[in-house]
C-alpha cells in the first residue's frame, strides 16, 4: 500500500458528483488514472449506504494498492479495515473535550481538515497523519465556506511538517498557482468527477503535480 508521504493526487468518490455512476466504477477509473489515494464522501447517504459502497470499492482500491479513506465515520472505517478516516475540525475537536471512545487508537490513519493556521496547529498537536488545507478557492463542495486563498497554502508550506494536501476549487486552470505557492500534494473533487474522462483528467493532474517534485 502506498505510504501517505508518497501520495500526491488525492481523489474522491463524492455522492454529489456520481452523476448516476456506480461508486466502484468511479473507483476503477480513478485508479486507472493514477490517483494515489481515494476518499469516499457521501454527506447525503445513510451509514448503511456508505458501508455498502465501501465494501464494493475496497476490492478495487486494494487491487491497485491505493489507500481508501472514509469521510466522517471513524467506527465504520475501523470496522471495515480501510486505510484511513477523514474528519472535520468540528467532528474531532468540538464534540468532546477528548476524542470519543470510537476514536481510540490504533486504528485507521487520521486526516483532519483545516481552514486556518491555528486549526492546522491543532491537527498537528492531535498527531493527525495528514492535514487538508483549504478551501483554497471557493467551491460548491463547501458552500458558504470562504476561500483561504493561496496565502494559507504558503503558510502551510512553511509550517506543516506532516503530509498535507491543498483542497478546494482546484482545477487544471489554477493548479499551477497552488503548486507555485508551495503545495506538493492536492485534493481534487469536482474537476475530476465532472470530467467526461475521469482517468484522463487524473493523468493530467498528475502531470502537473510532477512538475514540482517532492522536496
The residues carrying an active-site annotation are 41, 113, 142
94: exposed, middle or buried (Cβ count in 10 Å: 0-12, 13-18, 19+):
exposed
DSSP SS3 for 166: strand
11 by DSSP, 3-state: which? strand
In 3D space, the residue among 95, 187, 183, 109 whose CA is nearest the CA of residue 141 turns out to be 187
Report the chain's C-alpha Rg in angstroms: 16
Amino acid at each position: 500500500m502506498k505510504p501517505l508521504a508518497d501520495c500526491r493526487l488525492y481523489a474522491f468518490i463524492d455522492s454529489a458528483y456520481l452523476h448516476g455512476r456506480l461508486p466502484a466504477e468511479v473507483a476503477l477509473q480513478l485508479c486507472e488514472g493514477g490517483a494515489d489515494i481515494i476518499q469516499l464522501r457521501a454527506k447525503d447517504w445513510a451509514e448503511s449506504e456508505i458501508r455498502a459502497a465501501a465494501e464494493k470499492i475496497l476490492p478495487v482500491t486494494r487491487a491497485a494498492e491505493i489507500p481508501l479513506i472514509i469521510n466522517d465515520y471513524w467506527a465504520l472505517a475501523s470496522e471495515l479495515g480501510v486505510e484511513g478516516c477523514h474528519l472535520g475540525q468540528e467532528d474531532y475537536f468540538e464534540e468532546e473535550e477528548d476524542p470519543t471512545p470510537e476514536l481510540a487508537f490504533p486504528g485507521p490513519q487520521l486526516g483532519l481538515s483545516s481552514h486556518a493556521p491555528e486549526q492546522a496547529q491543532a491537527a498537528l498537536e492531535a498527531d493527525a497523519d495528514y492535514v487538508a488545507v483549504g478551501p483554497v478557492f471557493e467551491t460548491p463542495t463547501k458552500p458558504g465556506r470562504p476561500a483561504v486563498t493561496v496565502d494559507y497554502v504558503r503558510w502551510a508550506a512553511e509550517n506543516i511538517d506532516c503530509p498535507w494536501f491543498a483542497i478546494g476549487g482546484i482545477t487544471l486552470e489554477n493548479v499551477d498557482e497552488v503548486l507555485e505557492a508551495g503545495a506538493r500534494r492536492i485534493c481534487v473533487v469536482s474537476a475530476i468527477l465532472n470530467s467526461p474522462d475521469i482517468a484522463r483528467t487524473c493523468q493530467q493532474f498528475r502531470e502537473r503535480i510532477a512538475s514540482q517534485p517532492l522536496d
